[in-house]
Amino acid sequence: MKTKFHSWRLIVAGTATAVTLLFAVACKKESQKSVAPPDAKNDGRKVSTESVTKTGGKSVCYVEVNSNSLLNTGKYTLTTGGQQLFDIAIIFAANINYNTTTHKAVLYNNPNVSNVLTNKATQIVPLQNKGMKVLLSILGNHQGAGFCNFTSRTSAHAFAQQLSDTVTYYGLDGIDFDDEYADYGNNGTTQPNDSSFVMLVDELRKIMPSKIISFYYYGPAASRLSWGGKKVGDFVNYSWNAIYGSYSVPNVAGLAKSQLAPAAVDIQSTSQSTANSLATQTKNNGYGVYLWYNLTSTDKHTYFSGVSNILYGSSVTYTP
């Protein structure tokens, strides 16, 4: 797993900070254990519902769980109405690895991701009880396996089944795809093809019909979104811009404006004025999602309020 800080992609980030954080995270490899998933719907949790409907679109936040708590996303609410600022929290990130013995793609959770998942009662359920959704992001891991080089529907289905089993077992609300760091070709793997990503999301949707599937609009997958008369937009719920500090509409045919986030913000490096400007463009152009990245434990409610006042007509309250 690698950090999402890419110095060449940060529009407003300080160079020294970006370079330092680029190499901040390294993950050990370990075998993914197979566990028979129980029915997550029967885990006894009670999920609350908001009494007041939040208007102005959804806010989505990635958290680097190697160094920060996912629970930080639940500490921010709208001062007026009390709804959560973040509608979707994303665990960043699990990996798609390559088993050189079986020549198959396998899902891998590093120790920090595993800690969040296995402690779902204290790390995930509390957010869901606030009405939030929790997704697991899947990222390449330099081993040659990626979303774009499955060569058969059978192999795509096998990996999709691993994802679905994980969602079920840990009571998650869905999967996020981030096609970075795959290093296609490593370990004798094939290069990206046009059918792979479409087959993968098609298969995942079949076995996970009511869960969220999102796409971080970046990498080889971003140019391989249709095949055989089917589109990735037919199967995913959301897609967001991947260039922090910028405004760019993901070109995912089949998704409505309400499902797209053209604005992407790095909480630690995107300026307040830029974040506010992106929010204004999002609202004025009628898009329904705003993307945040890299939430830490530092109180950022003043920063968030600048955007929230534009999108939701309310400032933000921080509750430690």
- Nearest by Cα to 173 from 216, 126, 132: 132
**Which candidate in 30, 50, 64, 180 is catalytic?**
180
Tell me the C-alpha distance between 266 and 246, whole Å.
10
Tell me the C-alpha to C-alpha distance, in Å, between residue 225 and each of 84, 123, 147, 198, 284: 32, 33, 11, 6, 27
CA 287, 178, 49, 79 torsion-angle sign: negative
CB 177 within 8 A of CB 224: no
DSSP of 91-154: EEEEEEEEETTTTEEEEE--HHHHHHHHTHHHHTHHHHTTT-EEEEEEEE-SSS--TT---SHH
- Nearest by Cα to 90 from 46, 138, 47: 138
Q: Specify whether 30 is catalytic.
A: no
Residues with catalytic roles: 180
